[in-house]
Amino acid sequence: MNWLDEVKWDDDGLVPAIAQDVRSGRVLMVAWMNRESLQLTADTGIAHYWSRSRQRLWKKGEESGHLQSVKELRLDCDGDVVTMQVEQAGGIACHTGRESCFYRRYENGGWVVVDEVLKDPDAIYHQH
Q: Can you list the alpha helix ranges (DSSP code H) found in the chain?
A: 35-44, 121-124
Per the annotation, does 21 bind a ligand?
Answer: no
> 96 lies in a domain?
no
pLDDT number for residue 128:
42
> Which pLDDT belongs to residue 56?
97
The reply to whether 77 sits in an annotated binding site is yes
pLDDT digits (tens, 9 = 90+) for 77-120: 999 999 999 999 999 999 999 999 999 999 999 999 999 999 99
Alpha carbon distance 74, 95 (integer Å): 25
Q: How far apart are CA 95 and CA 23, in angstroms?
A: 21
The whole domain housing 71 covers 3-90
> How far is the CA of 69 from the CAs of 44, 62, 74, 107, in angstroms?
9, 13, 15, 33
Burial degree of 49 (CB within 10 A; 0-12, 13-18, 19+): buried
CB 95, CB 119: distance < 8 Å? no
pLDDT at 62 over 60: yes
Number of domains making up the chain: 1
- Measuring CA to CA, how many Å separate 99 from each of 33, 50, 102? 21, 21, 9
Within-domain flag for 29: yes
Residue 40 belongs to domain with CATH number: 3.10.20.810
Q: What is the pLDDT of residue 90?
A: 94
| In a domain? residue 104 | no
The reply to whether 117 falls in a domain is: no
Q: Is 76 annotated as a binding residue?
A: yes
Residues 1-59 have pLDDT tens digits of: 799 999 999 999 999 999 999 999 999 999 999 999 999 999 999 999 999 999 999 99
Half-sphere exposure of 31 (CA within 13 A, CB side): 29
Residue 101 known to bind ligand: yes
pLDDT of residue 125: 78
Q: Is 11 annotated as a binding residue?
A: no
Tell whether 85 is covered by a domain: yes
- pLDDT at residue 1, as a whole number: 77
- What was the pLDDT predicted at 126? 63
**Residue 7 placed within a domain:** yes
